[in-house]
Amino acid sequence: MMGLIWGRWGRELVGVQIIVAQVLISAGGIVTSAIGLNALSDHGTCTVVFALVSAILITLFSSIRTFARLGWLTWFGFITFVLGVFIFVVAVTQVDRPAAAPKTGDFDLGWAPIAYPSFVVGMINATNIFISTCGSSMFLPVISEMKRPHDYRKACLVAGFIVGAMYLSFSLVIYRWCGTWISTPAFGSAGPLIKKVAYGVSLPGLILGVGIYQHVAAKYAFVRILRDSEHLQANTFTHWGTWLGINLALGTAAFIVAEAVPILNYLLGLAGSLCFAPFSLVFPALLWMYDFKSYKTGTLGQKIKYALHILIMILGFYMIVAGTYSVGVLIKEAFDTGAIAKVFDCADNSGFVQ
């Protein structure tokens, strides 16, 4: 759609952003899955091995060709992931203190109606907000495989409501009981036993969910490469070789990124600022202005609406620049302070397993 506004280079830019976004999300999923496997096994082997196993499983799932064949697996993944999160949310209300809090004595949960973080910390948390709603930018490819495309809008609204309600309710409960002592990922906040239970239940959902993101990127690249070719629909060697090769390339790229920046928040912040801020703010505003270009010279109310969309677009560009800068600063600090000791590190990344 951006090709209507920016021409061919705009279409290619958005295509690259889609692929980069999914690689970063997949990398975050690999990091989280490796953390879960470390937690379940009490760091049974090198973390790189767990990350490689996660990348292989995610890539195998993403290689299933159509959403129709993914259907029952995605339902299974959704149920297991939500169940794992629900177990954690209930459990965190039953512990005396979060696992990251001081073991003895009084401690402050750090509640604040208005916080005053540094610019860098504030920006990375702001960009992470886009990750919470980024799924909507991946809805569009689904309509091409729907049996009843006219139900697309209804499905989007229902999915958005359910996801939004879960995000709000779960996060409020977790913040109430953990405050600033929340672990990353959060499952570590309820202690070692609950962490293992939560990861054990939700790990299939995590791997399957991340596989969907990689599948969308692979499907986009696959169609672009074989468009107007007989191999797009036929079960030829070229068809299968291209499809499996793309999935392998994306899985490999995600694995390398996960090992280069093995901190979940930074990967999510990078995806949020580089990709999902444009998808959430810039592109929707530009497309709206394209559809309603007559509002520039319309009534006062129409001019105000047009001006507001310009402000949304400017805010989006600001989030891209400021968010990317902030993530870069934090990644540099992580290497300088040893939080990221080295790439392809075997050290345990699960925390709080004692």
pLDDT at 278: 87
For 163-214, how does the pLDDT look when each residue is reduced to its tens digit (9 = 90+)?
889 888 998 999 889 888 888 778 888 888 889 999 999 999 989 888 888 9
pLDDT at 56: 95
Query: Per the structure block, which two tokens stand in for 297?
Result: 């010279």
Task: Of 322, 325, 330, give the one whose Cα is nearest residue 265.
Answer: 330
Domain 3-100+117-337, CATH among 1.10.1040.10, 1.20.58.100, 1.20.1740.10, 1.10.8.80:
1.20.1740.10
pLDDT for 252 beyond 50? yes
Residue 329 neighbours by CB under 8 Å, 6+ apart: 120
Burial 5-22 (b: 16+ CB within 10 A, else e): eeeeebbeebbebbbbbb
For 142-157, how does the pLDDT look when each residue is reduced to its tens digit (9 = 90+)?
777 777 888 888 888 8
Residue 239 neighbours by CB under 8 Å, 6+ apart: 226, 231, 232, 233
Burial 289-308 (b: 16+ CB within 10 A, else e): beeeeebeeeeeeeeeebee
Query: Per the structure block, which two tokens stand in for 305?
Result: 């609406």
pLDDT for 354 beyond 60? no
pLDDT for 353 beyond 50? no
Q: What is the pTM of this model?
A: 0.85
pLDDT for 351 beyond 70? no
